[in-house]
Amino acid sequence: QTVVTQEPSLTVSPGGTVTLTCASSTGAVTSGYYPNWFQQKPGQAPRALIYSTSNKHSWTPARFSGSLLGGKAALTLSGVQPEDEAEYYCLLYYGGARVFGGGTKLTVL
């Protein structure tokens, strides 16, 4: 069974920079896994932020960026805002299958 692993929790100060990562139990994450990133706030549906590693949706704030880093998919928030406090999920494509990571709870403090 494929497992996608994210940091359970991270804390960042307002205005700071933080990187969240997404690892695959099958090995290094490449662009062929089409990493997606989502933000979810309490009581809300997930909101898509990044697709295909680094592509932003029209509604994605500029401070969010996606990349590959050390064999993992990465989501970097630069100039963090208080409203960025949320749960963040990655999603990887394994051929036709899709697997979500367990999520990272980001605290802005």
Partner 1 sequence: QLQLQESGSGLVKPSQTLSLTCAVSGGSISSGGYSWSWIRQPPGKGLEWIGYIYHSGSTYYNPSLKSRVTISVDRSKNQFSLKLSSVTAADTAVYYCARGGDGLDYWGQGTLVTVSS
- Positions in the binding site for partner 1 (CB under 8 A): 1, 34, 36, 38, 40, 45-48, 50-52, 55, 57, 89, 91, 96-103
Contact 50, 35 (CB under 8 A): yes
Phi and psi angles of residue 40, each rounded to the nearest 5 degrees, phi first: -135, 125
Distance of closest approach, residue 92 Cβ to partner 1, in angstroms:
10
What is the helix, strand, coil percentage profile of the chain, to 5?
5, 55, 40
Please state the closest distance from residue 59 (CB atom) to partner 1, in A. Answer: 10
CB of 60 to partner 1, least distance (A): 11
